[in-house]
Structure 1
Amino acid sequence: MIKNLILFQLLFFLIKTQLFVNETQLISNDGELNDNFGKSVSITQNYVVIGSPNSQVGNNPEQGKVYIFQKNGSNWVQYLTLTASDGNSGDNFGFSVQISQDENYIIVGAYSANLWNTSNQGKAYIFQNNGTNWIEKQILTASDGNSGDNFGYSVGISQDVNYIIISSPYANLSNNTYQGKAYIFQNNGTNWIQQEILTASDGNAGSNFGYSLSISGNYTIIGAPYANVGANLSQGKSYIFQNNGTNWIEKQILTASDGSYSDYFGYSVGISQDDSIIIGAPGVVYTNSSNKGKAYLFEMNGSNWIQSQILIPNDSNFASFGVSSAIFGNLSIVGSYGYQKLSEGSNGKGYVFEKMDSVWTQQLSLFPSDGTNGDYFGKSVALYNSSFIVGASHANVNNNSLQGKSYVFTNSSSIPQVNIQSCVSLFSQFACYWNQIIGSNVDYQIYYDQQWISIQNPLLNNSIYSQLFNSSQYPNISGNVDYSIQIRACDSFMNVCGDASNPWNLTTRIDSVKNLSLSALLNSQISVSWDYPDVPLVNSTPKLDHYIISYQSNSSNQTQLSFPNSSKSAILTSNLLSNTNYSVSIWSCSNEECLNQNQGEIVSNSIFTLFGKVYNLSCSISNSINIECNWNQPSGSRIPTNYTFSYSSNDSNDSNSIQITTTSYNFTALIPNEEYTINVSACDSNSNCGDISTINIKTKLTKPNILYWNGGIQEFQINFSKIERNYGYLISIDNGNTWNHFDQINESGENVYGVKDNIPGNVLYTILISGCSESTCNISLLGPSSSSVSMIAKLGNIESLSCSAIDTSIKCNWNGLLLSEGLKGYCFSCNSTTEFLNSNQTEFTQNNLKEGEVYLISVFASALDNCSVSNYSGSPSTSLVQIFPPNPSTSTSSSSKAGVIAAAVIVPIVVIAIVIIAIVLIRKKKSHHKEIHQDMNLAQERLISSDQENLD
């Protein structure tokens, strides 16, 4: 034992001084799909044994095979293929394998083999090396085997080849299904005979005691990964049995110090020559992590084993760590077939730990150079001295899925030089291709910026690695820069690297501009903005010559414009049409010519220019303040989604903006006699609106409403509603043919009172009223007129009536009516006598009157062809005249007498006349009020009649 320890310590020292691990890939020469070559592995100095339990033998599918590879110099060559002499379909021969360290015996498990009438009872086969060949020496079965025991699930052979251990993890004990058993076979010099059946002292149903096992010297360890520990289901246990010279007795039950449910502690086990034990627990779950699995180290302390360390990988993305494990001296290996390499899925990995100063430290990470998703690399592991073998039972080989592979890793003293195949200049980046350095734990570094930088996850294809180098992962890489590139291979754990490759020189191309943005502007313009490409800055200006912007539509020629290198924006104005889709491209140039390698990567985008102005915008006014607008859609390939219609008055007290989908819009303005500005623009679905069409239109005044009207003596009195924002009112008495100002006007509250006088009486007038829209108030600036009303004014009164008595006659004269359009004639009354005079007669003499009589003379303008009563005739003018007898003489006395007599007579007469006139006037006033009322009724009837005619 001491000699062995010295040997192992020397070997492990050599591992620390040897710097590189070579990889050898092993594939069966007759492999087929679904063989699962690599399901079980074992290794010694000169042999590798690999199980392929699903291989077909002859016509027997899944009978199983075992392949022996022999070391030939630095290579491993396939030497023999082992099969069972009594094999049958479904035996799964090779599910477990173990080669003795003296390289004389191989034990193979066929856990699904049938025995007579017991299916899946299982068998194990011993092959012996006779120096030339490996021959089947013995078939082992369980003395108490039953159907479904799966004898041969795990196998082991001691270093001195005196003992073989074989498990039946699905064997039932009493009523405990799948409690599990293990069988010890002892070498009697010729054969191995069953010596003892091992079971767990605290075994329970479903524990699967014997799921894994390992034997070394006088100790064997057996895993029961599905055993319950307290309330923790499937936490798992492992059992140590010791050979006391006669029997194997249960020495100790091991559990994890931090165990939990479903850890599966004991899924894999191993024991070394110095009695160190490793146990895998692939089900351990980490808090706040997707990682799974641990491995536990136990060291002998006196007569018992104590947990000395928990092994956890020093990287992330591992899963099922501990699904396989092995230990040899101060080295151990733990498989993690669920390890994920970036986005490639579950490639698998093997972790090598070394014990130094009583502490186990991770030294190597083993993974296949050609690994792919689902290979199950690490499902099985084994080691001998400083050589490791890892099975990948689910790896595909060519077109054979799940054929399986295995990988042997051994040490080398130097790292070869990398040979760069090529490096290619790209836009602000470059790609390099170099030859693969075969081995595990190989990292690559690149030198391009005065420092060596690790290459992250290069891609491998047919033994050539490739990687794209850009600023997202590697510093100081940009466009238009000269680089001298070298690559070297390194051992990532030992921090030692091979010689650098020969330099490869190149200049990167200018990259594309960043963040190209287009926006459409009014007047068919396009705004372009961008950020500098990824190139060095010189005095805050990018290291390039200029930019080129190119644009065109499907129906136009290409337009190219050049912009200085400091530019970050531009406005395109030339050769652009509205509502047209343009493709806009921009690229940078490293020199004036801007050809080929000197042209940066082109970035393109497209955009529609905004809509042009709508066509034929027109607006009209109805009912003074109702505005109706119509237009046609703008030209171009797109139809507007909607239109923005807005209006505002000059005083901004009335404004609005709305979105509509039609090409017309009506609205009622709030302000009469006000100029409005109308704007219309076409918009797309993103509310991008085009050029604005504008039109101005002025609302009209509202029309007044005549509330009351009356005809007076050669005048009209009219009461009408007030209208807003006017500059006065005009009246038409001839139905709108002529317009004049009121002679009197007065506003009171919401009403207006107006008088129009000096008009001919006895004429039917059609009255209209309208407001003035401006202060000049001429006919062209009138607002809408009111509804018409009709009325008649009275004739005027006689002016300057003068009468005198001449003998027995009275002669009168008067002034004729100036406004005589409606005059029919004059009525002359002398007491009870009335004469109708024509309209141009302004004097009259009444003859044959009596002397001494006083006569009341009355004259009025008649609205009729006779002197009948009429509401429209003028009021009478009166005069009292007395007829005196003729004087016989002309003496003074006579005259005085006559005057006295006349005075005596006239004064009473005058008094009487005044009384009579007063009575007449009172009657006339009452009659006049009646006439006014009749006139209003008549005018209103005529207005109603006129309106009805208009409606008809």
Structure 2
Amino acid sequence: MKNTTIYVFAIFLFLLAACGGSSSGSDSGNNVVTVPAQPQNVSLSFQAVKLFQFTWDEVEGASYYRLQENPDGVSGFTQVGEDIPQGTETYTLEVPIYARINAQYLLQACNTEGCSDSEVLTVDSTLANSIGYFKASNTDKEDLFGYSVSLSKDGKTLAVAAPEESSNATGIDGDQNNNDAPESGAVYVFARIGADARWAQQAYLKASNTDRGDYFGYSVSLSGDGDTLAVAAVSESSNATGIDGDQGNNDASDSGAVYVFTRTSATWIQQAYIKASNTDRYDIFGNSISLSGDGNTLAVAAYQEGSNATGIDGDQSNNDAVNSGAVYVFVRIGTTWAQQTYLKASNADEYGLFGTSISLSSDGDTLAVAAVGDDSNAIGIDGDQSNNDAFFSGAVYMFARTGASWAQSAYVKASNTDDEDFFGSSISLSGDGSTLAVGARREDSNATGIDGDQNNNDAPSSGAVYVFARTGATWAQQAYIKASNTDYQDSFGSSISLSGDGNTLAVGAQEEDSNVTGINGNQSNNDASNSGAVYVLVRRGVIWTQQAHLKASNTFGVYLFGYSVSLSGDGRTLAVGTPGDKSDSTGISNNRSNDHSASFSGSAFIY
């Protein structure tokens, strides 16, 4: 029996060798395949505009590589991107910069037998050099580039307004090198183009009737795909009404107008010139605008419109409620625009400023309208709006569209309504319209973080944000949010933006004073007055937490960083407007000029 066992085992070894088998693996004959060696000289560098670049030495025996990411240093590693073929020694990864402090990376060298890991690389800086820094192509003093910003849903198109830019050009890509029309305004469109998807300026837009003091670019809004852009010029002065009327006169001072542009491939054209149905002097039509995701619904606010109508499609022909405000909804069928409805507050009153800020859901069927001048002392949802006992406390009105018909669906107040809180300074809806964020830039409590004590006024004008969620048709407040470094007159909530799913929120505090740079630096000092900051918060389930405190890459005083903010649909790209920037540089870089000779020229940052 013993000899038989030895004989059988010998036959097994013979057959195994004949078939090329090996317990350690082989591809043929005696060529043994083993797990690749550990990758060497793996490095991470921070490139401009949200790009991490990884390089390494090629590993003999590797068939491909895998990049593994631990986004916050505690969540664990998962693969990012596709397998990287052998012969490649560099890889560029786009990341949400604000969410990659303490991130860890490792590279795996792999073949059929397995993978070996490199040493772990840790992001241990404030990432200031990876923040995209955008300037106009014709930077000049007091142009206020960054006064308004808008990102497309896919994060690949960015519109940046400079409402006090002064060239007399008209239309697309005209002569931008003169100042013959002071404060006429311009909008700059940037896009990620080319094989490496780097940012570049794509167009320089002016009104079709450029005129001094029109403030073209006071507000801007992009469709989801970035191919439709609405631009408001709040001080445009023609007396035209409706669509594509006579824009050649100035007979209705500061009535305001909106211009719609469309893009085919990389070419922009003006599609429409839009006025109110009741154009009047000083109505400021376009102080806030919002496009639906498909670009076919446009809401335009005129917060100084003066009729005393209430509700939907009332009498708009009088001026008996000065500065009560109105919102106009337009729809596009094919390439043709038409006004669909005229909205007023259910309690329209003088100086209500209905339309201070507005926001449409992605499908265009839910509309939020803020009125910082609302004076009722109601709290929460659908309270008593008939009194004027809380001066300029502010309110938000929710509207819903069924077919072509609009109706008011809710009247929203803060949970701590108080005089002059300016609830509604800024608002933003999630894509599906079920999450609403409302800024109150002059709210006064000294609370910090989430759901703190809101019942004191010990930090005047520090500001707050309120998040509401809708279940079915019912709205309820979900969170009361303060800065992590609440301070007097920081104006937290002066600008806000929600991601498409409503789970990421960017909040601007344009007068925050810390002198740190980059992400999550020491925010405890006040050494850079009015430099500004942006706070990013995330929601998991129904719980909100602050994820990041953002500053410019080179903070200094009177900067107004965070004056405007815009998140992409997935929340992975954030644009921040900074109209107080003083640098004289032009174009896109990751380094700011140290020449501060162009005060209030403005800039925008991408995270």
Alpha-carbon deviation of 1:162? 2.2
* Residue 140 to residue 415, structure 1, CA distance change in 2 (3 Å): closer
Q: Does 1:253 align with 2:253?
A: no
For the Cα contact (< 8 Å) 1:367–1:377, is it kept in 2? yes
Please list the CA deviations of residues 678-729 of structure 1 after superposition, one character each: whole Å capped at 9, or x if unmatched: xxxxxxxxxxxxxxxxxxxxxxxxxxxxxxxxxxxxxxxxxxxxxxxxxxxx
Is the Cα contact below 8 Å between 1:317 and 1:340 reproduced in 2? no
Give, in whole Å, the separation in 2 of the partners of 1:279 and 1:403.
29
Distance 1:171 1:374, change over 3 A: same
Of 254, 260, 271, which residue of structure 2 is paired with 1:184?
A: 260
What is the aligned partner in structure 1 of residue 162 from structure 2? 110
Task: Select 1:301's aligned residue among 402, 405, 425.
Answer: 402
**Alignment correspondent of 2:272:** 196
Corresponding residue to 2:423 among 311, 321, 335: 321
Contact kept? 1:69, 1:80, Cα under 8 Å: no
1:311-361 CA-partner distances (Å, limit 9, x unpaired): 111224361011111111211111100111131211101111111021121
Q: Distance in 2 between matches of 1:262 and 1:222?
A: 18
Structure-1 separation of matches of 2:368 and 2:543: 32
Q: Distance in 2 between matches of 1:388 and 1:303?
A: 30
For the 8 Å contact 2:353–2:373, the answer to whether it is kept is yes
Of 393, 402, 419, which aligns to 2:510?
A: 393
**CA shift for structure 1 position 71:** 4.6
- Whole-angstrom CA distance in 2 between matches of 1:415 and 1:163: 35
Give the counterpart letter for 1:118 in structure 2: A
Residue 271 of structure 1 aligns with which residue? 360
Percentage identity across aligned positions? Answer: 27
Aligned-pair CA distance for 1:72: 4.5
CA distance in 1, matches of 2:347, 2:285: 21
CA offsets 1:72-124 (integer angstroms, 9 cap, x no match): 44779552100011111111000000111111111000000001410000000
2:190 alignment partner in structure 1: 127
Is residue 411 from structure 1 mapped to residue 438 from structure 2 by the alignment? Answer: no
Aligned mates of 1:272, 1:415 — CA distance in 2: 22
Distance between the aligned counterparts of 2:101 and 2:297, measured in 1? 34
Q: Which moved more, 1:187-196 or 1:73-82?
A: 73-82
Change (3 A) 1:297 1:74: farther
Contact 1:369 1:439 in 2 (8 A): no
Task: Identify which of 306, 329, 332 aligns with 2:436.
Answer: 332
Distance in 1, Cα, partners of 2:184 & 2:96: 29
Which of 221, 225, 248 in structure 1 is aligned with 2:303?
225
Residue of structure 2 aligned with 1:145, choices 210, 218, 234: 210
Report the residue type matching 2:227 in the other structure: N
Match of residue 282 from structure 1: 372
The one-letter amino acid of 1:197's match is Y
> Could you tell me which residue of structure 1 aligns to residue 137 of structure 2?
85
Q: In structure 2, what is the Cα distance between the partners aligned to 1:226 and 1:69?
A: 38
Q: Is the 8 A contact 1:214 1:270 kept in 2?
A: yes
Q: Distance in 2 between matches of 1:74 and 1:331?
A: 27
Residue 415 (structure 1) shift: 9.2
Looking at structure 2, the residues matched to 92 and 69 of structure 1 have their Cα atoms a distance apart, in angstroms, of 26
| Structure 2 spans left out of the alignment, 5+ residues | 1-48, 50-70, 72-94, 103-125, 168-177, 239-249, 309-319, 377-387, 446-455, 515-525, 549-607
Distance in 2 separating the partners of 1:414 and 1:311: 19
Secondary structure at the residue paired with 1:267?
strand
Q: Which residue of 2 aligns with 1:902?
A: none
Counterpart secondary structure, 1:154: strand
Please give the alpha-carbon distance, in whole angstroms, between the structure 2 residues aligned to 1:74 and 1:355.
33
The CA deviation string for residues 460-489 of structure 1, in whole angstroms up to 9 with x for no partner, is xxxxxxxxxxxxxxxxxxxxxxxxxxxxxx
Change in Cα spacing, 1:340 to 1:156, as seen in structure 2 (3 Å) is: same
Kindly indicate whether the alpha-carbon contact (under 8 Å) linking 1:69 and 1:77 is maintained by their aligned counterparts in 2.
no
One-letter amino acid of the structure 2 residue matched with residue 331 of structure 1: T
Matched AA of 2:266: T
* 1:16-165 matches, cutoff 5 A: 70-73=97-100, 77-78=127-128, 79-115=131-167, 116=178, 117-130=180-193, 131-165=196-230
In structure 2, the CA distance between the partners of 1:415 and 1:302, relative to structure 1 (3 Å rule), is closer
Q: Aligned equivalents of 1:413 and 1:221: distance in 2?
A: 31
Per-residue Cα deviation, 1:752-805 (whole angstroms, up to 9, x for no partner): xxxxxxxxxxxxxxxxxxxxxxxxxxxxxxxxxxxxxxxxxxxxxxxxxxxxxx
CA deviation profile, 1:147-170 (whole Å, cap 9, x unmatched) = 000001101110122210100001
Instruction: State the shift of 1:240 in Å.
Output: 0.5
CA distance in 1, matches of 2:327, 2:269: 25
1:200 Cα shift? 0.3
Instruction: Report deviation, 1:414.
Output: 11
8 Å contact kept, 2:374–2:395: yes
The equivalent of 2:585 in structure 1 is none
| Distance (Å, rounded) in 2 between the aligned partners of 1:438 and 1:252 | 39
CA deviation string 1:25-51 (max 9, x = no partner):
xxxx9xxxxxxxxxxxxxxxx9xxxxx
Which structure dedicates a bigger proportion of its chain to helix? 1
Superposed CA offset, 1:181-240 (max 9, x none): 000001122221111101001010000001000001210101000000131000000110
2:483 corresponds to: 368
Matches within 5 A, 1:848-867: none
Partner of 1:12: none
CA contact (8 A) 2:99 2:547 kept: no
Indicate the residue corresponding to 2:450 in structure 1.
none
Aligned match of 1:172: 237
RMSD: 2.5
Deviation sequence 1:6-62 (CA, Å, 0-9, x none): xxxxxxxxxxxxxxxxxxxxxxx9xxxxxxxxxxxxxxxx9xxxxxxxxxxxxxxxx
Q: Residue 331 of structure 2 contacts residue 337 of structure 2 at CA under 8 Å; is this kept in 1?
A: yes
CA positional deviation for 1:439: 6.7
Deviations along 1:864-899, whole A, 9 cap, x unmatched? xxxxxxxxxxxxxxxxxxxxxxxxxxxxxxxxxxxx
- Aligned match for 2:472, one of 347, 350, 357: 357
| Aligned equivalents of 1:340, 1:439: Cα separation in 2 | 23
TM-score norm. by structure 2 comes to 0.56
Which residue of the partner structure matches residue 500 of structure 1?
A: none
Unaligned runs of 5+ in 1: 1-28, 30-45, 47-67, 417-436, 441-952
Higher relative contact order (CA 8 A, sep 6+): 2
Q: Deviations over 1:347-404 (max 9, x none)?
A: 1011111110211211011110101111111111110021001100011124111100
8 Å Cα contact 2:390-2:418 kept in structure 1: no
* SS of corresponding position for 2:137: coil
2:328, 2:255 → 1: CA distance? 13
Q: What is the CA distance between 1:273 and its match in structure 2?
A: 1.4
Distance in structure 2 (CA, Å) of the matches to 1:200 and 1:372? 40
Counterparts in 2 of 1:196 and 1:289: CA distance versus 1, 3 Å: closer
* Partner Cα separation in structure 2 for residue 360 and residue 215 of structure 1: 23
What secondary structure sits across from 1:266 in the alignment?
Answer: strand
TM-score, normalised by the number of residues in structure 1: 0.36
How far did residue 302 of structure 1 move?
Answer: 2.5
Residue by residue, what CA displacement relative to the aligned partner does 1:828-883 show, whole Å, maximum 9, x if unpaired?
Answer: xxxxxxxxxxxxxxxxxxxxxxxxxxxxxxxxxxxxxxxxxxxxxxxxxxxxxxxx
Which amino acid is the alignment partner of residue 399 of structure 1?
D
Q: How does 1:731-742 map to 2 (within 5 A)?
A: none
Q: Which has the larger displacement, 218-227 or 396-405? A: 396-405
Code of the aligned partner of 1:281: A
The question of whether the paired residues in 1 share the 8 Å contact of 2:493 and 2:509 is answered with yes
